[in-house]
Chain A
Amino acid sequence: QQQVKQSPQSLIVQKGGISIINCAYENTAFDYFPWYQQFPGKGPALLIAIRPDVSEKKEGRFTISFNKSAKQFSLHIMDSQPGDSATYFCAAGDSGAGSYQLTFGKGTKLSVIP
């Protein structure tokens, strides 16, 4: 059972454009929603994260939109750059048990072309 569904699987965006990646979750116990960026041969690096008490969070060119009722959240990358080309993973975590165990989406390979 896939608890976090991510789409699209791959995305090609022109330089300067907006990249949008979507995720949906099923478990209502999730209360922490991070996005990770991963380059080949490296571990995932936290990009931005949101909690369900807010509907949007912005950090620089990166924005998370969160819809609690629909159980969906998305990552928007404004003014996309070739250096943003990487694989992006959404995840969902439950703080209740204290461990913040994360469930990951399947990933989106983003290619930003000049």
Chain B
Amino acid sequence: GAVVSQHPSRVICKSGTSVKIECRSLDFQATTMFWYRQFPKQSLMLMATSNEGSKATYEQGVEKDKFLINHASLTLSTLTVTSAHPEDSSFYICSARNRDSRNQPQHFGDGTRLSIL
């Protein structure tokens, strides 16, 4: 079945560091990918919608300059948390839109646990 790979699964870094998270669709082309943030024991909160070849659409309250999204190919979207601080620590999850599947139009990655010291 369709798989979305997210890398890295876990990252720990110092405050002020920029961190890049990759989201790849392994066996289908994804013109649209979504980035979510999930705090402990809470639901998924949509941060932005990433469209291949165009600028991402950010949800209200999400800082564009803080969370840089690049969707340079039909199988890869990246989220870069710039100058990360402890409050950016969270679980980040991507999903990819599979236009060839009506039964499962979105496939989720396994998430990235980001911890900023």
Contacts and interface: CB of A to CB of B under 8 A. Distances in A.
Find the residue from A43, A44, A95, A107 having the highest chain B CB count within 10 A.
A43
B6 A43 contact: yes
Interface string B76-117: 000000000000000001010101000111111111010000
A42 interface: yes
Contact of B42 (A45, A93, A107): A107
B105 A106 contact: no
A89 B44 CA distance: 9
Contacts of A101: 34, 46, 49
A32 B105 CA distance: 10
A57 to B, nearest CB: 11
Interface-central residue, B43, B107, B108, B110, by most chain A CB under 10 Å: B43
By size class, the interface of chain A is 20 to 34
A102 B106 CA distance: 9
B75 interface: no
Nearest to A89: B43
Interface of B: 6, 32, 34, 41-44, 46, 49, 93, 95, 97, 99, 103-111, 113
Interface of A: 32, 36, 41-46, 49, 89, 93, 95, 98-102, 104-107, 109
28 contacts: A36-B108, A41-B113, A42-B111, A43-B6, A43-B95, A43-B108, A43-B111, A44-B44, A45-B108, A46-B104, A46-B108, A49-B103, A93-B105, A95-B105, A100-B97, A100-B106, A101-B34, A101-B46, A101-B49, A102-B34, A102-B46, A102-B106, A104-B43, A104-B44, A105-B43, A106-B42, A107-B41, A107-B42
Given A46-B107, A101-B49, 6 more contacts: A36-B108, A43-B95, A95-B105, A102-B46, A106-B42, A109-B41
